[in-house]
């Protein structure tokens, strides 16, 4: 499957690329500067990834919700069915939630970029967005 095309990048393309943590514009890897940070621009095509301060803070909200669904609720069931003690449940909930968020943080960053461009596909340089126009 080739990610490069001269055709307009569709929302389906953006979602596929975002799910795989690839650039929504060119489809190549290069979004992440580190585990907790995006590059200022895609390492492959140079698409600007810098948004206003706090733009990608949605990752925190997504992390909280995902942590509740995948860690806290299961731990609550384990405590309710007496598989875990309350103390063990509290400790597992605290440290498990923190570990889970740290583990999936890069994916959440990629998904925030994806969500933005799914909503605004015309912003992509490949679709004639600001960076794709000669001004």
Closest CA to 116 of 68, 30, 52: 52
DSSP string of 8-20, one letter each residue: PPPHHHHHHHHHT
pLDDT in tens, 81-100: 999 999 999 999 999 999 99
Domain that holds residue 120: 11-132
Q: What is the pTM of this model?
A: 0.76
pLDDT in tens, 33-61: 999 888 989 988 989 887 755 566 678 78
pLDDT beyond 50 at 5? no
β-bridge partners, 48: 41
Any domain includes 1: no
Any domain includes 80: yes
Tally the domains of the chain. Answer: 1
Any domain includes 4: no
The C-alpha atoms of residue 78 and residue 74 are separated, in whole angstroms, by 6
Q: Are 25 and 10 in contact (CB under 8 A)?
A: no
The C-alpha atoms of residue 56 and residue 94 are separated, in whole angstroms, by 24
């Amino acid at each position: 499957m080739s990610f490069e095309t001269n055709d307009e990048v569709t929302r389906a393309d953006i979602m596929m690329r975002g799910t795989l943590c690839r650039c929504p514009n060119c489809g190549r890897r290069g979004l992440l500067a580190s585990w907790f940070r995006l590059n200022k621009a895609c390492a492959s095509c140079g698409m600007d990834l810098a948004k206003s301060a706090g733009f990608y803070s949605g990752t925190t909200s997504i992390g909280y919700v995902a942590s509740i669904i995948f860690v806290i609720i299961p731990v609550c069931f384990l405590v309710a069915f007496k598989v875990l003690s309350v103390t063990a449940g509290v400790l597992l909930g605290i440290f498990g939630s923190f570990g889970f968020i740290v583990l999936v943080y890069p994916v959440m960053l990629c998904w925030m970029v994806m969500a933005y461009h799914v909503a605004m596909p015309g912003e992509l340089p490949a679709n004639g967005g600001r960076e794709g126009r000669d001004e």
